[in-house]
Amino acid sequence: MGRDVIVACDFENRRDTFDFLDRFEGVKPFVKIGMELFYAEGPSAVEEIKKRGHRIFLDLKLHDIPNTVKRTMAVLSRLGVDMCNVHASGTVRMMEAALDGLSRVQAGDLRPVVIAVTQLTSTDGYALKNDLLISRPMEEVVLHYAERAKQAGLDGVVCSALEAEAVHGRCGSDFVTVTPGVRFHDGDRGDQKRVVTPAEAKKRGSDYIVVGRPITRAADPVAEYLRFVREFKD
Ligand code: C5P
């Protein structure tokens, strides 16, 4: 797995997505397709983006009973995406079921990288304690979920870059860390709480940063994307 910037294409329809991707001439960013676009346009949008030569992280964050997740993963695996994910809070059994669903359709190296969401980067310590009723510190919760994901056989986790180093320390350097909540100092944080700059994410050992609004809402998205690439990758 090489270090890379994944652009979160959080658009509500196909037209806005392709208008955005059309601006990238000669560069094919790794893109993340989330629930918004997938629920609006369905699998054909994913297939079209793939045909254009982008690598795709299908970010549907599955969280359901193991059998439902297994069967859903089997369906999703037919799309040939490069990365997909589930919530670690769905339990080890659910994560194992996710992999099982994939293995029924694709074998060996062909299966997508499967990662688990530990805690959303929009969740802060207050929400962890008061909304989720989890009294342990954030880092302990994230590391515990990461270990459980590894135990289930997953390839990595989605976490804050603030936790990437500790996740690698606990789960190994080849356990992939995919980290949203990345902003330049001059950028708008939006609803992200635990944010870092691309340079900090690199220093802390993130394998992939996921960047949405700072790129999709920029006056010049390509220039902004390249700015993130320069600071994170080069
Ligand atoms: O616009 P922004 O850069 O905040 O987008 C971050 C993307 O990463 C969004 O698509 C969001 O759904 C996703 N994400 C996140 N935190 C997680 C998992 C995914 O922000 N823990």
Residue 208: predicted pLDDT: 98
Is residue 69 classed exposed, middle or buried when 0-12, 13-18 and 19+ CB atoms within 10 A define those classes? buried
Predicted TM-score (pTM) of this structure: 0.93
Nearest CA to ligand 1 atom 3: 212
Would you please indicate which residues are annotated as catalytic (active-site) residues?
A: 61
Is residue 64 classed exposed, middle or buried when 0-12, 13-18 and 19+ CB atoms within 10 A define those classes? middle
Residue 1: predicted pLDDT: 62
Using a 6 Å cutoff on CB, does residue 192 contact ligand 1? Answer: yes
With CA atoms as reference, report the closest residue to 45 among 84, 26, 8, 17: 17
Q: What is the C-alpha separation between 130 and 127, in angstroms, rounded?
A: 5
Low-confidence ranges of the chain (pLDDT < 50): none
Domain encompassing residue 133: 4-233
Atom of ligand 1 nearest to the CA of 183: 3
Q: At 49, which CATH number?
A: 3.20.20.70
Residue 108: predicted pLDDT: 54
Q: Which residue among 63, 121, 191, 215 is best mutated to probe the pocket of ligand 1, counting the most ligand atoms within 8 A of its Cβ?
A: 121
Residue 164: predicted pLDDT: 95
**Cβ atoms 204, 134 nearer than 8 A:** no
Using a 6 Å cutoff on CB, does residue 6 contact ligand 1? Answer: no
pLDDT tens profile 7-59 = 999 999 999 999 999 999 889 999 999 999 999 999 999 999 999 999 999 99
Q: What is the C-alpha separation between 41 and 117, in angstroms, rounded?
A: 24
**Cβ atoms 27, 52 nearer than 8 A:** no
Q: Ligand 1 centre from 87 Cα, in Å?
A: 14
Number of domains in the chain: 1
**DSSP structure class, residue 110:** G
Using a 6 Å cutoff on CB, does residue 29 contact ligand 1? Answer: no
Using a 6 Å cutoff on CB, does residue 34 contact ligand 1? Answer: yes
